[in-house]
Amino acid sequence: MAFDIEMIKEVYAQIPSRIAAARKVVGKPLTLTEKILYAHLTEGAASQAFKRGTSYVDFQPDRVAMQDATAQMALLQFMQAGRSQVAVPSTVHCDHLIQAEIGADQDLSKAKDKNKEVYDFLASVSNKYGIGFWKPGAGIIHQVVLENYAFPGGMMIGTDSHTPNAGGLGMIAIGVGGADACDVMAGLPWELKFPKLIGVKLTGKMSGWTSAKDVILKVAGILTVKGGTGAIVEYFGEGARSLSATGKGTICNMGAEIGATTSIFGYDEKSAAYLSGTGRSDIAALANGIAEHLTGDTEVYANPEQYFDQVIEINLSELEPHVNGPFTPDLAWPISKFAAAVRENGWPAKLDVGLIGSCTNSSYEDISRAASLAQQAVDKKLVAKSEYTITPGSEQVRFTVARDGFLDTFDKMGGVVLANACGPCIGQWARHGAEKQEKNSIITSFNRNFAKRADGNPNTHAFVASPEIVTALAIAGDLTFNPLTDTLTNSEGVQVRLEEPRGLELPTKGFAVEDAGYQAPAQDGSKVQVLVSPTSDRLQLLDSFAAWEGMDLKGLKLLIKAKGKCTTDHISMAGPWLKYRGHLDNISNNMLIGAVNAFNDATNSVKNQLSGGYGEVPATQRAYKAAGIGSIVVGDENYGEGSSREHAAMEPRFLGVRAILVKSFARIHETNLKKQGMLALTFANPSDYDLIQENDVIDINGLTTFAPGKSLEVVFHHADGTSHTVVANHTYNEGQIEWFKAGSALNLIKAAKA
């Protein structure tokens, strides 16, 4: 049903020759990461060696995966591309919009009702364009992908930051924004800065309470939340080969927390076992045929310092279980030091809730090991002191662990099974009492623990650990409990000890499922109608942006001169605005409301040059739009850093802003602006920023001869009759200038198709 063996055969047919060509170009032994990257270069790029960390390179990914919150805008844009089918196999997964409150069944049925129009849209648009659709309740994107689509040596992009989970099966899998997904689905290449490489050598073998999660908890402590930026992390060594494929997936998944582009393990016996266990022995057979290409070269792993930019070594035999947090995933504590840290820092020792599961940690191995502790609690007459929830990652895992009795075991311990969805991991948790904002502690087997992420309460101290440690601490109800050394008092007053968890990597009776929740698309979608109600406040079909009028831009108003940090959150806030991710007009009401106005140091308060008064940024811009007047936004350094969400570029474009002129851009946002047909310009002299006054009227000259490397001229006419002319640089290449002229990259794709 789900995987595409013919596509994988094609990829595997090319891998050996492409890697051989890369060897000639690079002239030295290759890491696994380099092999897969070179195997996915576009034709034109394949004959060059790239400088790590600086060269921008075009790749051709094999797959696209989208979660429901981000898929909406990606697919609304794709509908504009004029294609009848997606160019690469693609899937949509309904996982982010299900709120956890009571339990799986009630929560799922409530979500289906509340999000009906979004689900109907996603189902119909998938059906029309040949996209696989995973219904609400089918599971979380990354677990479903690992079970069905990930394959060694492949390359995938996904509209979610934990897409790297598929690296556990040897795939280069990278999180991107919806505009990138749209381009790849339309058949265009995908650009990435050739990454730096971090090697993590795993020696020894884990045992007892330690699990794969502890590897990434330890790595996060070493590299911190920024240490992986711009890098791909490649794991290797005998320790790596001893980890289950799902354990490897956990490590790659949480690699997003160190800012890594992605993480990856090589193909080995564990990968083959998982592929076979999930009904894909034909892929395992194909991978066995090219196994030498699906791992790094022997010389690389023998002398990693010569081939990676940084090398870390971890001995799994000595690795302790870790607990990371609170409020950041890189504050790493070995369990032996954690109790003292809790006491010294005054963190609430009483544990209110333990939550296991999520896309990070809900494999059969995870659930079976956690259940072995729950069973001990029942057998030893221990009553769990904390609330305890289980979020299965997929219906296939849920069905199988239910069949094998683990969910009954959790039930006896007082656990509540939530829907196969993100739930508390993304703040979709109607946690009763959270609004009181009381100081409290929770521990999860998820990946992120920033303030407010789970329940919206800034005083919730969230810690991250393996499912085994979460379960043990939930039984104890106490963060200072160390299950490796401490005892607990049972209901009969007897001191008892929890023995080491035990579990199985794969179910002995195999995986089973009655309805996995997959809906295949129509063979011919030409007659399928995409369902979007014209009165919806959550979804809105996009209209093409207007093409450039062919002349210089005169008489623009200054909308805002933003001061200091202006991230994509400042430009297009998340939180309650998530609801409008599929409705450009409605979400545009958050445009730049977090940016600080340099003239009054206020947020969301700018001068309306038409009325002379002050107004909210979106309302002021709508007034300019209604009057047929364009505007510009001026910004500071690294404008648009943060997420890759394209809304931050689409909103100003939609509301009639013509140019963003800043001291410097975050690269992804700059590209997003170009794709939407905006002018993304930088001050040739950054101090010119200071010349701009609140009532300025602006001209942009030089557009009729717009060319790569040729600066534009921007004239600021001040209210006192004087003016300043400044030089504005840009990084548009020939193709990107065509995007500007056409009104957007999508308009150009559409025109090329017509």
Catalytic residue IDs:
95-96, 160, 448, 643, 645
Give yes or no for residue 425 binding ligand SF4 (CB under 6 A): yes
Give the interface segment with ligand SF4, choosing from 57-65, 139-147, 493-501, 618-626 (CB under 6 A): 139-147
Contacts 24+ apart (CB under 8 A), 105-109: 107/418, 107/419, 107/421, 107/423, 108/136, 108/137, 108/419, 108/421
Give the interface segment with ligand SF4, choosing from 50-58, 421-429, 571-579, 607-615 (CB under 6 A): 421-429
Give yes or no for residue 324 binding ligand SF4 (CB under 6 A): no
Q: For 460-509, give the DSSP string.
A: EEEEE--HHHHHHHHHHTBTT--TTT--EE-TTS-EE-PPPP---SS-TT
Site for ligand SF4 in 663-702 (CB under 6 A): none
Give me 344's structure tokens: 């010294």
Strand, helix or coil for residue 436: helix
In the complex with ligand SF4, the residue whose CB is nearer, 139 or 652, is 139
Q: At 40, phi and psi to the nearest 5?
A: -115, 15
Percent of the chain that is helix, strand, coil (3-state, to 5):
40, 20, 40
Closest CA to 246 of 403, 364, 150: 364
Site for ligand SF4 in 91-120 (CB under 6 A): 95
Closest CA to 681 of 643, 600, 736: 736
Strand, helix or coil for residue 265: strand
Pick one of 34, 147, 160, 478: the residue that binds ligand SF4 (CB under 6 A).
Answer: 160
Site for ligand SF4 in 554-593 (CB under 6 A): none
Give me 117's structure tokens: 């129009």
723-729 and 712-717 as β-strands: parallel, antiparallel, unpaired?
antiparallel
Give the interface segment with ligand SF4, choosing from 137-145, 234-242, 470-478, 659-667 (CB under 6 A): 137-145
Give the interface segment with ligand SF4, choosing from 135-143, 315-323, 587-595, 661-669 (CB under 6 A): 135-143
Closest CA to 566 of 620, 604, 527: 604
In the complex with ligand SF4, the residue whose CB is nearer, 67 or 568, is 67
Q: How far is the CB of 458 from ligand SF4 (least distance, A)?
A: 19
- Residue pair 621/546 in contact by the 8 Å Cβ criterion: no
In the complex with ligand SF4, the residue whose CB is nearer, 65 or 335, is 65
In the complex with ligand SF4, the residue whose CB is nearer, 46 or 451, is 451
Give yes or no for residue 174 binding ligand SF4 (CB under 6 A): no
In the complex with ligand SF4, the residue whose CB is nearer, 160 or 478, is 160
In the complex with ligand SF4, the residue whose CB is nearer, 464 or 571, is 464
Pick one of 35, 40, 135, 162: the residue that binds ligand SF4 (CB under 6 A).
Answer: 162
Give yes or no for residue 262 binding ligand SF4 (CB under 6 A): no
Q: What residues does 607 pair with on adjacent strands? A: 614
Q: How far is the CB of 749 from ligand SF4 (least distance, A)?
A: 29
How many angstroms separate the Cα of 233 from the Cα of each of 160, 227, 321?
18, 11, 21
Give yes or no for residue 462 binding ligand SF4 (CB under 6 A): no
Q: How far is the CB of 398 from ligand SF4 (least distance, A)?
A: 14
Q: How far is the CB of 516 from ligand SF4 (least distance, A)?
A: 18
- Report the alpha-carbon distance of residue 607 to residue 662 in Å, rounded: 19
Q: How far is the CB of 535 from ligand SF4 (least distance, A)?
A: 30
Q: How far is the CB of 216 from ligand SF4 (least distance, A)?
A: 13
Provide the edge-to-edge strand list for the sheet that holds 518-519.
172-175, 155-158, 63-67, 90-93, 132-134, 518-519
Angle formed at CA 357 by CA 265 and CA 61, multiple of 5 degrees:
40
Which positions ≥6 away from 333 have C-beta within 8 Å?
322, 323, 324, 341
Q: Between 478 and 497, how does the x/- string for binding to ligand SF4 read (CB under 6 A)?
A: --------------------
Q: For 403-426, give the DSSP string.
A: HTTHHHHHHHHT-EEPPSS-GGGG
Give yes or no for residue 426 binding ligand SF4 (CB under 6 A): yes
Q: How far is the CB of 453 from ligand SF4 (least distance, A)?
A: 9
Which positions ≥6 away from 238 have C-beta within 8 Å?
202, 203, 204, 205
Give yes or no for residue 144 binding ligand SF4 (CB under 6 A): no
Question: Quick one: CA torsion of 369, 371, 376, 382, rounded to 10 degrees?
Answer: 130
Q: Say how many CA atoms lie within 13 Å of 46 toward its Cβ.
A: 17
In the complex with ligand SF4, the residue whose CB is nearer, 69 or 513, is 69
- Report the alpha-carbon distance of residue 457 to residue 480 in Å, rounded: 22
First-to-last alpha carbon distance for the chain, in angstroms, is 33
Total of residues contacting ligand SF4 (CB under 6 A)? 13
- Is the sign of the CA dihedral 356, 321, 254, 9 positive or negative? negative
Question: Is residue 17 packed enough to be buried (19+ CB in 10 Å), middle (13-18) or exposed (0-12)?
Answer: exposed
Q: How far is the CB of 254 from ligand SF4 (least distance, A)?
A: 9
Neighbours of 639 (CB within 10 A): 29
In the complex with ligand SF4, the residue whose CB is nearer, 358 or 671, is 358
Residues in the chain: 754
How many angstroms separate the Cα of 272 from the Cα of each of 172, 269, 276, 647?
17, 5, 6, 40
- Is the sign of the CA dihedral 456, 460, 464, 465 positive or negative? negative
In the complex with ligand SF4, the residue whose CB is nearer, 283 or 426, is 426
Site for ligand SF4 in 19-38 (CB under 6 A): none
- Residue pair 748/754 in contact by the 8 Å Cβ criterion: no
Give the interface segment with ligand SF4, choosing from 33-41, 49-57, 285-293, 422-430 (CB under 6 A): 422-430
Pick one of 359, 560, 571, 650: the residue that binds ligand SF4 (CB under 6 A).
Answer: 359
In the complex with ligand SF4, the residue whose CB is nearer, 446 or 624, is 446
Give yes or no for residue 358 binding ligand SF4 (CB under 6 A): yes
- Residue pair 322/218 in contact by the 8 Å Cβ criterion: yes
In the complex with ligand SF4, the residue whose CB is nearer, 448 or 653, is 448
In the complex with ligand SF4, the residue whose CB is nearer, 96 or 218, is 96
What amino acid is encoded at 455 in this protein? D
Pick one of 99, 447, 471, 671: the residue that binds ligand SF4 (CB under 6 A).
Answer: 447
Q: How far is the CB of 135 from ligand SF4 (least distance, A)?
A: 16
Pick one of 141, 300, 314, 506: the residue that binds ligand SF4 (CB under 6 A).
Answer: 141
Give yes or no for residue 140 binding ligand SF4 (CB under 6 A): yes
Give yes or no for residue 422 binding ligand SF4 (CB under 6 A): yes
Residue with tokens 């009401």: 589
- Residue pair 170/153 in contact by the 8 Å Cβ criterion: yes
Give the interface segment with ligand SF4, choosing from 138-146, 330-338, 345-353, 666-674 (CB under 6 A): 138-146
Q: How far is the CB of 101 from ligand SF4 (least distance, A)?
A: 17
In the complex with ligand SF4, the residue whose CB is nearer, 267 or 429, is 429
Q: Residue 444: enclosing H or E segment and its boundaries? A: strand 440-444
Binding footprint of ligand SF4 on the chain (CB under 6 A): 95, 140-142, 160, 162, 358-359, 422, 425-426, 446-447
